[in-house]
C-alpha cells in the first residue's frame, strides 16, 4: 500500500472513531448513561460514515495536491499538511453528512413502508448543522493532533531517504 493510500485509510478510520467517541461522550454528559445509548444510536451514529468519508477524501485530495506541486516546493511541514487535511475534512463534512443522513432515512423509509418521506427528511439540515458544530467542538483538536503524527509519517515515507524528513 502506498503512503498516500495508507494516510487516506488511517484518516478515515480516525474520523470514524472520533465521531463514535464524541457521540458516547455527549450521551454520557447528557446523563443518558451506557444503558440507554443504543436507543438513539442509529440516528446519532449515522454521521460516523460521513466523517470517515470526509476525512478520507480530504486526505486523498490534499496529498494529490502535495504530489503535484513542483519538486522544489515540497517544503510542506507535517503540521501544515495536517491543518489542510483537517480544514478540508470539516468543509466536506456538512454536505456529506446531509447526503448520508438523507440516504439512510430514505432507505429506512423504503424498507419500513410507513410514514411520509418528507417528514423524515425535514430534520436532515438541522442534524447536519448540529453534527458540524459538535464535530468542531469535540473533534477539531484531537483530529489535528493525531493527524499531525499521521502526516509526519506520510511525509517521511513519501519523501524517501534522500530527501529531508518530516518537520
pLDDT profile of the chain (167 residues), mean per 10: 88 86 73 63 74 91 80 72 89 84 76 64 68 70 87 84 51
Which residue shows C-alpha cell 438541522? Answer: 126
Cα separation, 8 vs 65, in Å, equals 14
Quote the pTM value. Answer: 0.76
Report which secondary-structure segment, H or E, holds 95: helix 78-112
The answer to whether 7 and 63 have CB atoms below 8 angstroms apart is yes
Question: pLDDT at position 34, please?
Answer: 61
Which letter, b or e, does each residue of 14-24 get, where b requires 16 or more Cβ atoms within 10 Å of its Cβ?
bbbebbbebbb
Amino acid at each position: 500500500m502506498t503512503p498516500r493510500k495508507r494516510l487516506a485509510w488511517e484518516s478515515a478510520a480516525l474520523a470514524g472513531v472520533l465521531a463514535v467517541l464524541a457521540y458516547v461522550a455527549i450521551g454520557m454528559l447528557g446523563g443518558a448513561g451506557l444503558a440507554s445509548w443504543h436507543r438513539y444510536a442509529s440516528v446519532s451514529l449515522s454521521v460516523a460514515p460521513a466523517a470517515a468519508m470526509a476525512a478520507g477524501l480530504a486526505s486523498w485530495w490534499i496529498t494529490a495536491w502535495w504530489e503535484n506541486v513542483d519538486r522544489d516546493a515540497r517544503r510542506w511541514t507535517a503540521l501544515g499538511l495536517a491543518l489542510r487535511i483537517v480544514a478540508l475534512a470539516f468543509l466536506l463534512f456538512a454536505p456529506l453528512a446531509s447526503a448520508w443522513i438523507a440516504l439512510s432515512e430514505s432507505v429506512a423509509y423504503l424498507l419500513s413502508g410507513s410514514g411520509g418521506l418528507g417528514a423524515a427528511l425535514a430534520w436532515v439540515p438541522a442534524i447536519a448543522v448540529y453534527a458540524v458544530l459538535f464535530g468542531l467542538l469535540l473533534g477539531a483538536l484531537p483530529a489535528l493532533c493525531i493527524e499531525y503524527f499521521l502526516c509526519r509519517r506520510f511525509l517521511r515515507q513519501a519523501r524517501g531517504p534522500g530527501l529531508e524528513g518530516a518537520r
